[in-house]
Structure 1
Amino acid sequence: MTTTVVKGDHRRAKSAAFLVVCGCAGAAPHWLDNIRALWPAFTLALLLGGYGLRTVMRAALGQTVVTDGSAQPWTEERYPSLDVVVAARDEEAVVSRVVERLVNLRYPAGRLSIWVIDDGSEDQTPELLDGLAERYPQLRVIHRLRNAGGGKSGALNTALQQMSGEWLLVLDADAQLQDDLLETLVPFAIEGGWSAVQLRKAVIESDCNWLTRSQAMEMALDAVIQQGRLAGGGVAELRGNGQLIHRQTLEGCGGFNEDTVTDDLDLSFRLLTHGAMVGILWNPPVQEEAVPGLTALWKQRQRWAEGGLQRFLDYWPTLTSSQLTGRQRWDLACFFLLQYCLPVVSLMDLVTSLITRSSPTYWPLSFVAFSISGLAYWRGCRGDHAGPVIPRPGLWNLLVAIAYLGHWFVVIPWVTLKMAVLPKRLVWAKTSHGDLSQQLG
């Protein structure tokens, strides 16, 4: 785990201001009479509920190919040079598996290179990679010192300096791909005119327990919302594992940001501010392991929450400017209110109701948000999907999965408080990978 102190930014003050504003918004209605106290929640429920409903229903599930009208077939000569890159730290349990799968990907000879960065591993990862490099000439291995800095972004930037492909596909060490995935992904990106494409994420072995099932359903929900936002003229985002990026566009954005804990979310906004759009490919997906336990989930979600809020704090002036379209600004505003403001406001609403012995006031908005999430679950889990089986959206699975989403109402306020109070630090706390069934015991 590498920790870097970030200097010269204002994230701490911005986090504190965000916390104060949301806290006041959550507490203020309690000083109104019973009827007027519900007006803010009902107003937001109508606005954000309408946005959420349109987003979920617009999603085109099962979509695989978007073309520009060209009838030209995809011969080998049309495929661009492509670098597949994996940043690996202490991944002895899965690194051999991912390399074996990558070398079996179908792609024109001489146009595919595979890069794995050993980012200061202290287990057997370096030795395993060196042995694999002797067996597979298309595999390039880069070794970095553990304290080289920059976290995953630093590792990816190191590889970027040595790669020469027109496109790069970034994967996690636990990624699993269909052999023919590139034959769909690359044409989708080029014919769709996308600067980057995010594959739908699918959880393997999702039937282990309620937690793995909920995560599998959550990935389907996320892809539904992503496609719906994009269909409505809004913004789609990268998700780290399974992101295809045009190299020239990436370099124009300055590469990967080493001052963030979530390189993918940060890059999504920098692409947006450069006018580069991200597409979403439903089929085929990139397959990955679920987080096996609540402790690991808590660590992962703290990192996601911190990185997600950081990007809004860092790029807010641009995100609210005329540089973006009106639909993009509206989409970002609604997403920000639902994802980051609602959990903090709801917690302060609950705390204030306990102190003043009054009823909570924001329950209509929370009810609408969870209801729309249930609809997104239902659509995503019933969609035409390749890859691992997604749990069926029966009543019990839906209720458990909706309750599972409640963890964000704890994670977001806690992370916001830490960002507002503690010194700013960058920590790459990687998710452990391995045989999921063994991890679950």
Structure 2
Amino acid sequence: MSARRLSKRTAPVSVRAHWFILLAVLLALGVALVVQGYMHHLAGIADDSVPAGGSAISVPDAVSHGGPVVDARGGTVRTVAPPDHTLALTFDDGPDPVWTPRILDVLRKHHVHATFFVVGSAAIDNPDLVRRILADGNEIGVHTLTHADLGSAPPWRQQLEVQGDQQVIAGITGHAATLLRPPYSSENDAVRDGTWTAIRAAADRGYLTVLTTQDSEDWQRPGVAAIEQNLAPSGPKGQVLLMHDGGGDRDQTVAALDSVLTKFADQGFRVTTAGDAVGIASMGDASVGEQVSGNALVWGIRLSDFFIAAISWALVAAGVVTVVRAVLVVVCAARHRRAARRSLATARSRRRVDVPVRPEVTEPVSVIVPAYNEAAGIEAAVRSIVASSHPVEIIVVDDGSTDDTADIVEGLGLPGVTLIRKENGGKPSALNAGLAAASHDLVVMVDGDTVFEPETVHALIQPFADPRVGAISGNTKVANRGGILGAWQHIEYVVGFNLDRRLFDVAECMPTVPGAIGAFRRDALFRVGGVSDDTLAEDTDLTMSLCRDGWRVVYQDDARAWTEAPASLGALWKQRYRWCYGTLQAMWKHRGAVVQGGQAGKLGRRGLGYLLVLQVLLPLFAPIVDVFAIYGLVFLDPVRIGALWLVFLLVQFLMAAYAFRLDNESLRPLWTLPLQQFVYRQLMYLVVIQSVVTALAGVHLRWHRMERYGSLRVPPASQGQA
């Protein structure tokens, strides 16, 4: 299946569908992050040492001096305590995968039941333990969703915490609980106005609040003997005992529990659940609606946890890939530079001792300039090529321009310039027309918005001294680099494109000879059928075809061409959209190279693999990285997140500085690099997302011609060398 057929395989769909897909993905990610942040970072299971602050003006005396079980339903406040010789045994902050099973084993050993006030987030992590608690005959109560302090929480959060925990219990067990214990609560006289407000609000939804009369203080880990002493009743009066099965190391709790249960039995105390102690049935069957909503909440939180865990691992992988890429391109660039210097030094040495060296390529070159509505810059482009120090013939192919492009070229009357007029057929047809008219075996292709330096053509073709080389990429420079958008593109050309080309050269897997400056053997072009119009990235398609035909494609960094870059975000978007979409088409068209050998296999396994990971998958994942970074600033440690970002920026700066040094460029534009990470990088990522969605949707993308500005001038040679 050809790349063009791939792009037309389904009925046209609005390209704008990609925005809805992206929005849906980011919305789902945002919801998952909010859920994850709320469940695990806004609160958390801690000890019960936090005192309830504030006044107790609104707390009724019946609560402050009453029994530990508070019933405020119906507006009337009633309290009750267990009868004499009855101990209500309660556990908070579980279930815990280590300590809850051990506590349940101790209770079963003594044939005792207790009330477990479970935290919703812990229950979701340990659903089998929650079910075991009930299966063993114990009782379950609500201890909020995330162990939040209800006394200081706003009303909306109070309701979310209580009802959320209730839904978790219903979703896991199919039962509904009526007992509530607010986190950080203790005895009746410790209830403050904030906590009382939360108790009344919960009572309106049918909950009884269970406080405590004797706190084991096991959360302080005072020792087994101290815990036993704290639980020892001072008389026959009934008590509500507080212990913990979660929130920390509960080894002392388990040991003390085993001991005190034996002592309570010897002293004639009955140990039971809170509900049984005061004579109420505290749990019933949840309604179908409660079970459905509870299951939805449980699975939604689990899915969120899984999603965030997967993203976390993917972030680690992305970070590793980014670092590996930075190291790889720098190492390969250094090797490429050493090889060039070594080759130059060898040539000079051999000349001094009169040793034969690889001959200098001096044969004339045919330069093909495809032009469609290039009136703004065609004169500068043609004059710069005419001024070449190397013998050239120039073939300008006017591809049905509707402006004065052809008339301008004809009016120049420059020697060695041939003008071909043809009906509009697209850039590949214009290049093929020029190729058919070329007189020489070496061909240079250059866009109509590009100018050469006098030595560009001669420097560009020198690798053709190696008969294995079929194509050569030059060094494309941004001419209109003024302004912040121009500076960003200048950085991208130097750091992104040119560093990558050095890597591709060393790895022998060059995927693209850019349309702005590329040299080819004419017979190599004829062998692959000329320039194909199967994709919107004809330069990438052609380069991959040459690699698959066994030719080496190299990069010549001292062959500079100056091109106009888009001067607006809209123009930049259109250009990069076409580039990216066309590259995807070319990758699909040449996917068979992955299983081939020789130069084709190097392209397939190295070049296409690099493009897939670094230029497709990583950008697709990048918006998630950015959203996750915002999540980290809000819910995690902002200092650590900020430090990581600064380290990432430092790596980017060092790599950019090295690339600028290789290209003999001034470092001044690098001051815009931090801003590039916030604006330009996101724009490029969205371009990739749009291109991928467009390709998957089967939409045929039209050619997007870039606006020309007429800013091209042949720069002084020193500008590219300072």
TM-score range, shorter chain: 0.7 to 0.9
How far 1:285 sits from its partner (Å)?
1.1
Kindly indicate whether residue 604 of structure 2 is the aligned counterpart of residue 335 of structure 1. no
* Match of residue 376, structure 1, among 651, 655, 659: 655
Segments of 5+ residues of structure 2 without an aligned counterpart are: 33-302, 348-354, 714-722
In 1, are the aligned partners of 2:508 and 2:554 still within 8 Å (CA)?
no
* Match of residue 710, structure 2, among 415, 429, 434: 434
* Match of residue 383, structure 2, among 73, 84, 100: 100
* Match of residue 54, structure 1, among 328, 335, 350: 328
In 2, are the aligned partners of 1:261 and 1:427 still within 8 Å (CA)?
yes
C-alpha change, 1:424 and 1:322, in structure 2 (3 Å) is same
The 5-angstrom pairing of residues 293-332 of structure 1 reads: 293-322=568-597, 324-325=600-601, 329-332=605-608
C-alpha change, 1:47 and 1:131, in structure 2 (3 Å) is closer
Aligned to 1:214: 488
Task: Output the amino acid matched with 1:179.
Answer: P
TM-score when normalising by structure 2: 0.50
Percent identical pairs in the alignment equals 22
Counterparts of 1:281 and 1:217, CA distance in 2: 19
C-alpha change, 1:390 and 1:176, in structure 2 (3 Å) is farther
- Greater shift, 171-180 or 295-304, is seen at 171-180
Counterparts of 1:94 and 1:419, CA distance in 2: 33
The 5-angstrom pairing of residues 142-157 of structure 1 reads: 142-146=420-424, 149=425, 151-157=426-432
1:194-242, Cα deviation, whole Å (9 max, x unpaired): 2111111111242x21111111111111101210232245435211111
In 1, are the aligned partners of 2:446 and 2:516 still within 8 Å (CA)?
yes
Segments of 5+ residues of structure 1 without an aligned counterpart are: 1-5
C-alpha change, 1:36 and 1:421, in structure 2 (3 Å) is closer
Aligned Cα RMSD in Å? 3.8
How far 1:130 sits from its partner (Å)?
2.0
Aligned to 1:287: 562
How far 1:313 sits from its partner (Å)?
1.5
C-alpha change, 1:172 and 1:344, in structure 2 (3 Å) is same
How far 1:162 sits from its partner (Å)?
1.8
Higher relative CO (CA 8 A, sep ≥ 6), structure 1 or 2?
A: 1
Counterparts of 2:580 and 2:390, CA distance in 1: 36
1:46-105, Cα deviation, whole Å (9 max, x unpaired): 355324422223204764895797834857xx5223100111111112112222222221
* Match of residue 523, structure 2, among 221, 225, 248: 248
Aligned to 1:3: none
Counterparts of 2:515 and 2:690, CA distance in 1: 23
Counterparts of 1:242 and 1:186, CA distance in 2: 11
Counterparts of 2:620 and 2:684, CA distance in 1: 10
SS at match of 2:668: coil
Counterparts of 2:624 and 2:309, CA distance in 1: 19
C-alpha change, 1:282 and 1:435, in structure 2 (3 Å) is same
Task: Output the amino acid matched with 2:682.
Answer: G
How far 1:333 sits from its partner (Å)?
1.4
1:345-403, Cα deviation, whole Å (9 max, x unpaired): 3446778999xxx989xx9xx97987765443221122253xxx555364x33213344
The 5-angstrom pairing of residues 75-94 of structure 1 reads: 79-94=362-377
In 2, are the aligned partners of 1:203 and 1:287 still within 8 Å (CA)?
yes
Counterparts of 1:33 and 1:128, CA distance in 2: 60
Counterparts of 1:159 and 1:38, CA distance in 2: 52
C-alpha change, 1:8 and 1:305, in structure 2 (3 Å) is closer
Aligned to 1:419: 695
In 2, are the aligned partners of 1:83 and 1:163 still within 8 Å (CA)?
yes
In 2, are the aligned partners of 1:65 and 1:188 still within 8 Å (CA)?
no
SS at match of 1:131: helix
How far 1:327 sits from its partner (Å)?
8.5
SS at match of 1:176: strand
- Who wins on radius of gyration, i.e. which is larger? 2
Counterparts of 1:334 and 1:73, CA distance in 2: 33
In 1, are the aligned partners of 2:400 and 2:422 still within 8 Å (CA)?
yes
TM-score when normalising by structure 1: 0.79
How far 1:330 sits from its partner (Å)?
3.8
SS at match of 1:344: helix
